[in-house]
Amino acid sequence: MEFGVVGINYKKAQLDIRDKTSFTDGMKEDFFHKAASVGVEQVMILSTCNRSEVYYFYEQEEQQAQIQKAYEEMFSDISLKNYLIMLSGKEAMAYLFRIAAGMESLVLGEDQILGQVKEALECSVTMGHSGKEMNKAVRDAVTCAKKIQTKLKISEKPLSVSYIGIQRLNESCEITGKKILVIGSGKTAALALKYIFEYQTSSVTACSRNYAHAKALREEFPEIQIISYEERYEAMKECDIVISATSSPHLVVRRDCFTPVRPLCFLDLAAPRDIDMAFAEDALVDLINLDELQKIVKENEKERKNLVKEGGRLVEEELQETMNWFLSSRMDATIESLQQRCNTIVEDSYGYLNRKMELSQREQKLLKKVLNASLQRLLREPIQELKHLDTKDEQEEFKKLVEQLFQI
């Protein structure tokens, strides 16, 4: 039994292609049936915004082509040949381990994919399309990913400019207990508000050129106060922190329009800049802008890449244990047949001796126990050898030999 992967991901397929290859629940069920119809019983489907991939176990090489064909038929209105990835064996298993650990994600080391892998396995189990091998592969990959998270903490090196900006802001001017003004009402401003509310602020006020858009922020953040855009300079007089994140092509906070009279911290998340750089020369002002934040992002990204390399070494160690398990498990059927042959011989011998001798109940139990132990002792070393064969070719050779010698 071999492990395989087929599908597309963000590395080869653009967003418009990925959007068209997303699996709905109904489509997953259809694919499970298609796979089962060609003899592939164990299948897991991982469908996210960045990938649409099928993981499966197969017995015969032609089943790889059949699974690929089934995948392409699910999205027959698109030509996928230029975007497909196809992996098998150890390479495919290593890919699954790296996926679970976030090492193949668009954002290196992100944690969300681990939950998505768990959900994908749960779906397969629930639908009856997982088994001992799939459960083992995915659970080992999840365990490895958790070890990497615990040891390397890759995701603790943030890459979000908004998140890093709020962290840097808190280092410069502790957010807890402060009065804050947020200028802007788009996604960046909303993200900044989300991170701000992780702290115990005194009050948060928001404004935007579009008053209706600013008011819409209250649906997600009912605690904020809304003022008109024209009132921003007046509001700044009472604030400790000003965060600006608009899409304006011009400055929205000008030095010639406002003179700080108390310590004030500016966080400028806009490109082009929202806040006049002239404020940087004011002794009462601490100005943080995207240039500074992008440097931190690049440093964190570099650290993540280094940690991912280290994570790759951990994956290789854990992966080898899993591959060894799969290698030895290929001989399970042969070993089980040997055990059954042993049990048959024990029963036949015991039955014959029991008929020829007058044995007490205790002697009968002892006789069966001795017969079984003797045959198990004879088989112990051959079984250990079978479990530790190094290659598939060796396994096939010994399997035929054992079946011939023991007539199983």
Q: Is residue 257 flagged as an active site residue?
A: no
| Percentage helix, strand, coil for the chain under 3-state DSSP, each rounded to 5 | 60, 15, 30
Question: Quick one: how many helices (H) and strands (E) in the chain?
Answer: 14, 10
Q: What is the DSSP letter of 201?
A: -
Q: Which of 78, 3, 9 is nearest to 319 (CA)?
A: 3
- Give me the helices (H) in 180-258, please: 187-196, 211-216, 232-236
Note the helical H segments in 330-388.
Answer: 332-356, 361-387
E-assigned strand segments in 10-74: 42-47, 51-58
Using CA atoms, how far residue 206 sits from 232, 236, 247, 259, in Å, is 9, 11, 15, 20
Half-sphere exposure of 404 (CA within 13 A, CB side): 6
C-alpha pair distances (Å), 78 with each of 25, 74, 81, 124, 359: 20, 10, 9, 26, 76
**Mind telling me the catalytic residues?**
49
